Every structure is written in C-alpha cells, then in structure tokens.
Chain A
Amino acid sequence: MVDMDPGLDTKLRAFFEHIEASTPPSGLTDIDVAAPDRGRRPMFNLFAGLAAAAVVATGVAVFAIDLSSRDNPAPRPAESGPPLPRFTVHADSRVLLPVTHGKGSVTLPAFTLAPGESFYVQVACKSGTTADTVQVGQNQRFGSEVAACSSPTGGHGEWFETDQGGPSGGSVTTYVTAGPAVSWEILITDGPPPILAPPGGRALTPIAYGRGSDSVPVFTAAKTYSIALDCSGAGSLTISSSLSQAATISCAQYAQFSFTPSDQVPGQPVSLSVVAPSGVGWEVEVLEDGGPAPGTCATLHEEGVLKPTPCVASSS
C-alpha cells in the first residue's frame, strides 16, 4: 500500500471514511434482469448494424463534401483556437503531438514512441453547456477524462501515460471524445512529469530542465540543501556536484528521487552536472530543508512517494 505523509494521510482517511459512511440508495440492488441482452439478439444486431453503417456512410459522405469546401479542416494548429491556457514545453521534453485545437470528437495524428518511452498529456476544454467532459484515449485504450469544461475557467487536466508503446516502442494514436459544442486543446510530449519536491522542501533555485548530458546553473546555499530530480527515457542518469557527491538512477518509464549530499559546505558555490543519454529528459530542483538524510537518496518508483534508499552509485 502507498506510503503517505501523516498530514495527507489524516485528511484522506477522514475523507474516505465520510464517503464510506454514505447510505446507499434504497433501490441500489434493483436491477432489471429481464432487460434485453444485446449479445442474444443477433438479428436485431444485424439490422442495427446495417442501419448504423448506413448512417456512418452518409455521415462520411457529408463530412467529405464539407471538408472539400473548406480550407481549414479540424483538428487545426493552435493559432486561432479558443481562449484556452497556453501549454509550456520545457527543455526536457520533445513534442510528440503539437498543441492542437478542436471541437467534438476527433482522431489525432499518430506519433511514435521509442522503446520504453512514456508521454505526458495536457488537455484543456471549454464549453457553455453544463457537465461537458473531454475524454482522451490512446490505441483503443481509455486514458483519462477532463471535466468541468463549462466552469468559468474551463476544465484542464494533465497526466502521464506509460507502457503505451510497449517494450519495442511503436505508433500511438490518440482519440478525443467530446460533445460537438466542446472546444478543447491538447499537447502531448515525452519527458518526465513535473518534478515532485520532497515534503517540506523549499525551492532554492528555479527548476532546471534538460535532455542528455548538461550542467545545472551554479547556486550557493546558506544551509543544508537537497536535490530533487526526475527523469524519463531509456537509460540511466548520473548527477554529481562539484563537491563530488554523485547518484545514479535508471530513468526507464520514469523515476523521481532526491538526495542530500553529505559533503556540503554552506556558502560555497555548487555546480551540478548531469550525464545521461540524449533520449533521457530530466528536471532538477535544489531545495532548502526537507529531503532525505545526508548521503542518502530517496527514490520514487513503486508507490508514489519518495522513500530513502541507498544511492545507486556514490563517490567520496
């Protein structure tokens, strides 16, 4: 079971206990067992299928005629989209599907994933009708849903998808399902999801973003600092400071970890360098307070929290 910090644990426990104390509706177990089972009515299904095929064919024909009379078919690039938030692409990410606006249900152009590569989906939606949602799925799999499109600020959601390309990589096709009046915007990138700072950590530097090997801007800490990092892509990443403390982590799927160098000298400038294959995207943030004990790494792999573990590699 997921390991949780005490504050959130207390709140979530009370929240779930409140839900579980809800009284189910009196007719909860009333079901109509005599309702038609579609699987047992082949003739009906045949006629329904033929009718549906006719409707689809008509729709395709009308759509084709409509498309031929337009210069700008949907989905279209972002220039003239609805008033939705602009998504940011950081230096650790590669765009797999550029920002695309659309309305209603659409199949988006396919993109290709490298073996083991994951991707990050950002979606926003807007509509004037209550209860409108946007669903986004890939390769016939339901992915996730964005709700509250009709709220004053619109709806938005972002999530990380793993395993879609499989161990060999492969093509991924994205499907957007929404009502015809719902405007939406989507961006898909590779690279890791936003960094998770350890509980209690306070940012000392802006987040640094990179791909492959690079250095992080020099910083000076007045007191103890820790380093939070996340990465995704095929390969391992090694981060080391000018004071020689180093940690190595596998970025397959994605990984998040933090460590507190044991060889800190308050007030002395520190530079960090990252060594990784070019396909590995990473984010680094330096924090005061929080973080694991000096000389240890806290790694997020299994259960959604940062847990202290020995650093994979270290040098004195």
Chain B
Amino acid sequence: MGVIAAASAVPSGESLPERTFEAVAVADARRLYSLALSILRDEGEAEDAVQETLLKTWRSWESVVRMDRPAAWLTRVCVNHCISRRRHLRSRGWPPLGLIGEAASPGDPGSAADRLDVDRAYRRLSLRQRAAITLNYRHGYSVEECAVFMGCRPGTVRAHLARGLATLRKELGDG
C-alpha cells in the first residue's frame, strides 16, 4: 500500500507551493475522522470515509489546491460519503463495547451512563439526521452551509434537524 508520505508533493507544477497535500488534506484528517465518527458511530466506517475522502482529494488535487476553502470541499466529500454510500454498520443499534464497559465501570458513572443513553438514542436517527445535527449543532455550520455539505436544500436540513432532535428528546425523556 502506498502511503501519503510518499506523495506529499503537489502533483501539478502550477499549484501553490505552500499548499501541499499534506498541509491541506492530511492535516485535516483528524477533524474529518471526528466528523465521520459522529455521523456513522463506527470506527471502521469512519476510517473508510476519511480514506475515501483523502483519495478523492488526491485525485482532484489540481482543482482542490486552487480552491479558496479546500476544507469546505473536504467536508462536503466526507459528509457525502457518510450519508450516501451503501454500507453495513456492524454496531449500529447497539453501543460500542467501549461505552458499555465504561458505563459499567466505577468513576463518574452518571456521566458515562448518560453518554450511553445518548448514544443509544442517537443511533436511532437516520444518517442524514445525524449529519444535520453534527454539522449544525456541533460544528456550528448554518443551515444553508449544511445544505451544501449534504447535497440537499435548506428546508430538508431543517426537517432532518427537527425530526432528529425530536427523536432525541423523546428517547431521552427531555421534552
């Protein structure tokens, strides 16, 4: 398997010299991983999403390097991959083993148990509802920006937000 370290030079001689693939895309991998993990709730799937995003970025590098906001493009590709690709989520519907062990272990049990409850409720949401909540609530993007990232209209994002939050309130008894 080739690694990115071997491909750190930009593929086009016309690209901006300070914008290397590593500086733009690889440096953003951790943020993308958090984003993907928030939507997919599966570490393996999140890793796949980030790697697919990096691969697509590499192949489109001549265009990406000229963009004003390459991070926004990376976000869009990653979100689109998370919500559009057919996948099999092995752990969906059940909390990860780490969370179960954590909830059962002593030391701040209330907080861990809360997280377990939220995780269970969150997994009941559709991927698009999760994406809307992650992007809008957690990452602070506007509804219009979320719509761009998710490839739909703002009204659809609002609907996903409303229904997702309603489900969370219902499942968590917060309403």
Interface residues of A (CB under 8 A from B): 1-2, 4-5, 7-8, 11-12, 14-16, 18-20, 22, 24-25, 27-35, 37, 118, 130-133, 135, 141-148, 151, 155, 157, 159-163, 177, 193-194, 196-201, 253-254, 256, 300-305
| B53 to A, closest residue via Cβ | A31
Contact indicator per residue, chain B 132-156, by CB within 8 Å of chain A (1) or not (0) = 0110111011110000000011011
Q: Are A8 and B51 in contact (CB under 8 A)?
A: no
B92 contacts the other chain (CB 8 A): yes
Q: Are B158 and A303 in contact (CB under 8 A)?
A: yes
Interface on chain A toward B: helix, strand, loop, or mixed SS? loop
B37 contacts the other chain (CB 8 A): yes
Q: Are A177 and B86 in contact (CB under 8 A)?
A: yes
| A40 to B, closest residue via Cβ | B59
Q: Which of A33, A196, A256, A300 has the most CB of B within 10 A?
A: A33
Measured CA separation A33–B119 after assembly (Å): 35
B169 contacts the other chain (CB 8 A): yes
Interface on chain B toward A: helix, strand, loop, or mixed SS? helix
Chain B: residues with Cβ within 8 Å of the partner, total of: 71
Q: Are B122 and A162 in contact (CB under 8 A)?
A: no
Q: Are B163 and A15 in contact (CB under 8 A)?
A: no
Q: Are A161 and B159 in contact (CB under 8 A)?
A: yes
Q: Are B83 and A142 in contact (CB under 8 A)?
A: yes
For the complex formed, measure the closest distance between the CB of B27 and the CB atoms of chain A, giving whole angstroms. 9
Q: Are A304 and B3 in contact (CB under 8 A)?
A: no
Q: In the complex, which residues of chain A have a beta carbon less than 8 angstroms from the beta carbon of B127?
A: 144-145
Q: Are A25 and B47 in contact (CB under 8 A)?
A: yes
Extra pairs beyond A133-B87, A145-B126, A196-B166 (12, CB < 8 Å):
A1-B140, A1-B142, A8-B168, A8-B175, A12-B168, A30-B51, A31-B2, A131-B88, A133-B92, A163-B153, A303-B136, A304-B162
Q: Are A162 and B153 in contact (CB under 8 A)?
A: yes
Q: Which 6 A-B pairs have the closest CB atoms?
A: A148-B93, A304-B161, A144-B126, A304-B162, A147-B92, A15-B118
Contact indicator per residue, chain B 115-134, by CB within 8 Å of chain A (1) or not (0) = 10111001110111100011
B50 contacts the other chain (CB 8 A): yes
Q: In the complex, which residues of chain A have a beta carbon less than 8 angstroms from the beta carbon of B26?
A: 29
Q: In the complex, which residues of chain B have a beta carbon less than 8 angstroms from the beta carbon of A142?
A: 83-84
Q: Are B90 and A130 in contact (CB under 8 A)?
A: yes
A25-B153 CB under 8 A given contacts A15-B118, A145-B127: no
| A39 to B, closest residue via Cβ | B59
For the complex formed, measure the closest distance between the CB of A23 and the CB atoms of chain B, giving whole angstroms. 9
Measured CA separation A194–B166 after assembly (Å): 9
Q: In the complex, which residues of chain B have a beta carbon less than 8 angstroms from the beta carbon of A31?
A: 1-4, 51, 54-55, 58
Q: In the complex, which residues of chain A have a beta carbon less than 8 angstroms from the beta carbon of B54?
A: 29, 31
Q: Are A159 and B126 in contact (CB under 8 A)?
A: yes
